[in-house]
Structure 1
Amino acid sequence: MDFSSLSLAPPLLQVLEELNFRTATPIQSQSIPVLLAGRDLVGQAKTGSGKTAAFALPLLHKTHLSRRRLQGLVLCPTRELCAQVAGEIRRLGRRLPGLQVLVLAGGQPIRPQLDALEKGAHLAVGTPGRILDLLQREALDTGQLSTVVLDEADRMLDMGFREDMERILGATPPTRQTVLFSATFPDTIEDLSRTFQKEPTRVTVVEEGAAAPDIQQLGYMCAPEEKTALLLRLLRHYQPVSAIVFCNLKATVVELTRALREAGVSADGLQGDLEQSERDRVMARFRNHSIRVLVATDVAGRGIDVEALDAVVNFDLPSQPEPYVHRIGRTGRAGRRGLALSLVTPKDDRKVETLEQGMGVKLERASAESLPPEDPASGVSLAAPWETLCISAGRKDKMRPGDILGALTGEAGGLNASDVGKIEIQDRLSYVAVAKGIVRVALQRLRDGWIKGRKQRIDWVR
């Protein structure tokens, strides 16, 4: 679709012509008419698909320049992304006289942002923590907001900003247009959409040639005594960033976890004898990629919901189809192709037959001989890229992700935002992932510094 066929204001079409943007990308051609019509939208597209222009052009088209009141708000997960999005909005709106676009992001002094808001602006791009801070100071007037865009909504949820996002949306007019853009579509995005959007249009752009959203199910044949060695070989071959390995017995979980760790795999176990606090710590590490492989029984694995799980491995096959389907259903979400590997011994023939009959699908047979020979010099590592720190304050202590991010990347912390991973806020505890190479520095900086105006107990979760 040509941009000229979209009902955009002449100054915007002029800029597009100047920038040599003539043909809209799929996400733009499907989203812009919906947004111009004022409808809510959930857009799923990868980075580089042109999604910023997909929401920026309708935002600019609907902006009344004569009213210097905030009319559009874009939430982004990081300060860097805020700057990029604001830059693109300004570039596309450069023929709109007097257009004011503000960046309201953490990690920057708040006074200049307060001064700019007092003077008035048409559009703002900000991080959830800073926007909430400005709302609490009553410095941000949302009364005239007509559109709120959540850009990279899945990433903001991963970083622990859900509560902040909900409070921000709750402080905006109920008549607003709500737009979600996300690279993936996990259950958490669906929940957010159901709560805050009105009959949204769903636009999904799948890259040409992308794998169908299904699960490849492979059964690797082996003798019972070869299972652990074969599992290691499969992990080194497929290199999953995160995988769950299911066992039928608690004792097998303990033994296998020990064997994987001794082989250099970043692994931990989840079985019924664990105290809830220990289970929480294991799951926090797994969710933020401080553990690559989680070994679990079906009972202990109930309630595990980890997005973007690369692989599920059945170290022991279950006897019935239901638990098998439940296990492998944790991979292959959000339009990605899943991988389910099963270790099949000669004693498992009856189980395989029952599973195949129950599912109506044949398990694809494979053997270790089909794998490339192991190369000791390849340097394949199954270590995790992140470590986890635990902070002794949580949601009920008014702790927010922005407080932790600020403590690590502000003047006192001095770390790069890229060295900080997922932040998870629980009732009385918070977990933050930091890059493995700087964990000792991050630990010391947090122990030496202050978070929310007080010293906090900081533990390295290992």
Structure 2
Amino acid sequence: MDFAALPLAPPLLQVLEELEFKTATPIQAQSIPVLLQGQDLVGQAQTGSGKTAAFTLPILQRVRLGNRRLQALVLCPTRELCAQVAGEIRRLARRLPGLQVLVLAGGQPIRPQVDALEKGAHLAVGTPGRILDLLDREVLDPRTLATVVLDEADRMLDMGFREDMERILSVTPASRQTVLFSATFPPDIEALSRTFQKKPVRVTVEEAAGTAPDIRQLRYDCAVEEKPELLVRILRQYQPGSAIVFCNHKIEVSNVKKALTEAGMSADGLQGDLEQFERDRVMAKFRNGSTRVLIATDVAGRGIDVEALDAVINFDLPQQPEPYVHRIGRTGRAGRAGLAIALITPRDTRRLDDIELTTGVKLERADLEALPSADPRNAVKLEAAWETLCISAGRKDKMRPGDILGALTGEAGGLSASDVGKIEIQDRLSYVAVAKRVAKVAFQRLSEGRIKGRKARIERVK
């Protein structure tokens, strides 16, 4: 289905044309007409299927810009996912002047969020815990909500948010449109739908089956104590530009990070007990290519959504098949070939059988002898080509990517545009990737110069 065939307002069609979105994905083609009619919907689709646009475009079609009261709420499991969804909403809404989109998530001070709500906004994207907190403080008025979206509902249930979601839905208007998206449909999801939705239309996109051939799934067999050395050898063999290594415990994350760093590899760890500020820095570096290998647990890794991820490595197999499917689904997207590797020890036999039975895919046994050695003198290292600079100004300071690019490539900066990588604007901070060979010069030019006519504090993020 072409977007032009949908009954969307001219500003939305103009944005879609500017973004070169011509053909709707399966989840968009099946969901948007239903949602435009105001019906409830249950959508089953994997991350990366285009579901954010599927629920955003109908919301933007109906938003009343003249009424600066909360009209739609999107619940997401993590702050990172909230930021990604809000970013996509703002991108699709850029031709709707004055539209206010708030991120209401934990891990950030609540006072600025309270102030923003009191000033008025049209849409909000938030985590269940923070939304409940704002409801309890009576600063978020649910009475004007026309649409509530539960995005990645299965993950929110996995994280223990069931009661929070039920409390939030119970205080919103009975007349609301309720939209539920989930990659899997366990009984708890069905129960949630029965309780809070009105004759929902069920849309299922069997994307996993369609994309499975694009993900090569390999197994390397080893003893438990051989796993760190084997991981180094695997990374030297495949040399992924970006990879996530999943562990089951945070102590393992630290151990694996140490092993990879000592082997000369660009690696960082993401653990549940990291402060939000540190977590943001780790994720910004990984998204912009300043870190090539990210090691994470399932809990810490929720909400990670990185474009063009080359490989997912299961250092530890998860206890259940479902997390395995979630993990490897992060590679092999958008028509690219993906690579999923599992390190298998004798104690993993039962888990592996369950995974292969659930997915219907038998992991290909790879040849250990074909891997390079783990000798530290081995010339192959996984170093990053980029370095990250942090700038002490963000979205709330009216900072835009073009301002940073201009400061680096203009007369004062003097850098080539090819030396500047991904630019990420957060509320009060911005991150920019610069080529490693010019990082020192870029840091000096930004520190000595001005961005948008103002001085900013610049830091090289290590």
2:341 equivalent in structure 1: 341
CA deviation string 1:55-99 (max 9, x = no partner): xxxxxxxxxxxxxxxx9999699xxxxxxxxxxxxxxxxxxxxxx
Q: In 2, Cα distance between the equivalents of 1:279 and 1:337?
A: 28
Residues 285-308 of structure 1: CA deviation (Å, up to 9, x unaligned):
000000000000111001111111
Q: CA RMSD in A?
A: 3.3
Alignment deviations for residues 106-154 of structure 1 (CA, whole Å, 9 cap, x no partner): xxxxxxxxxxxxxxxxxxxxxxxxxxxxxxxxxxxxxxxxxxxxxxxxx
Give distance in 2, aligned partners of 1:276 and 1:249.
19
Q: Is the 8 A contact 1:221 1:367 kept in 2?
A: no
The alignment covers a number of residue pairs equal to: 282
Query: Would you say the 8 A contact 1:222–1:367 is kept in 2?
Result: no
Q: After TM superposition, list the pairs within 5 Å mapping 1:214-225 onto structure 2.
A: 214-225=214-225
Deviation of 1:372 (Å): 5.7
How far does the alpha carbon of each residue in 1:319-340 deviate from its partner, in whole angstroms, 9 at most, with x for none?
A: 2101111111111111111110
Q: 2:215–2:331: 8 Å Cα contact kept in structure 1?
A: yes
Aligned 8 A contact 1:312 1:330 in 2: yes
- CA distance change for structure 1 residues 256 and 375 in 2, over 3 Å: closer, same or farther? closer
The answer as to whether partners of 1:305 and 1:330 remain within 8 angstroms in 2 is yes
Q: Find out whether 1:169 has 2:79 as its counterpart.
A: no
Q: Distance in 2 between matches of 1:422 and 1:213?
A: 30
TM-score relative to the length of structure 1:
0.56
Q: Any conservation in 1 of the 2:236–2:380 contact (CA below 8 Å)?
A: yes
Matches within 5 A, 1:273-284: 273-284=273-284
Q: Distance in 2 between matches of 1:234 and 1:249?
A: 21
**Cα distance between partner residues in 2 of 1:322 and 1:394:** 37
Letter of the 1:232 counterpart: V
- Which residue number in structure 2 is paired with residue 287 of structure 1? 287
2:28 alignment partner in structure 1: none
Q: Which runs of 5+ in 2 are unaligned?
A: 7-13, 21-83, 98-150, 152-210
User: 1:223 Cα shift?
Assistant: 1.3
**SS of aligned partner of 1:300:** helix
Q: Residue in 2 aligned with 1:411?
A: 411
1:170 Cα offset (Å):
3.1
2:447 equivalent to 1:447: yes
1:176-216, Cα deviation, whole Å (9 max, x unpaired): xxxxxxxxxxx9xxxxxxxxxxxxxxxxxxxxxxx985211
SS of the residue corresponding to residue 357 of structure 1 reads helix
Q: Contact (CA 8 Å) 1:244, 1:294: kept in 2 or not?
A: yes
In the other structure, the counterpart of 2:400 is 400
Where does residue 139 of structure 1 map in the other structure? none
Asked if 1:240 is matched to 2:240, the reply is yes
Once the two structures are superposed, what CA deviation does each residue of 1:318-376 show, in whole Å capped at 9, x if it has no partner? 12101111111111111111110000111211111121122222111123113366898
**Residue matched to 2:300:** 300
**CA distance in 2: counterparts of 1:329 and 1:424, whole angstroms:** 24
C-alpha distance after superposition, 1:267-319 (max 9, x if no partner):
00001110011000000000000000000011100111111100000001112
Give the Cα separation in 1 of the matches to 2:87 and 2:305: 18
State yes or no: 1:358 paired with 2:362. Answer: no
Q: Which amino acid aligns with 1:170?
A: L
- The offset of 1:380, in angstroms, is 2.4
Q: Which runs of 5+ in 1 are unaligned?
A: 1-30, 41-70, 78-157, 172-186, 188-210
Q: How far apart, CA to CA, are the structure 2 residues paired with 1:217 and 1:302?
A: 22
Question: Does 300-309 or 161-170 show the bigger shift?
Answer: 161-170
CA–CA distance in structure 2, aligned partners of residues 302 and 269 of structure 1: 14
Query: Are the counterparts in 2 of residues 425 and 431 from structure 1 also a CA contact under 8 Å?
Result: yes
Hey, what's the Cα distance between the residues in 1 that align with 2:286 and 2:370? Answer: 30
Q: Partner residue of 1:252? A: 252
Aligned to 2:106: none
Deviation at 1:387, TM superposition (A): 0.3
Mean CA deviation greater in 414-423 or 361-370: 361-370
The CA distance in 2 between the partners of 1:237 and 1:244, in whole Å, is: 16
Q: 2:306 & 2:352 partners in 1: Cα distance?
A: 27
TM-score (structure 2 length as normaliser): 0.56
Helix, strand or coil: the match of 1:333? coil
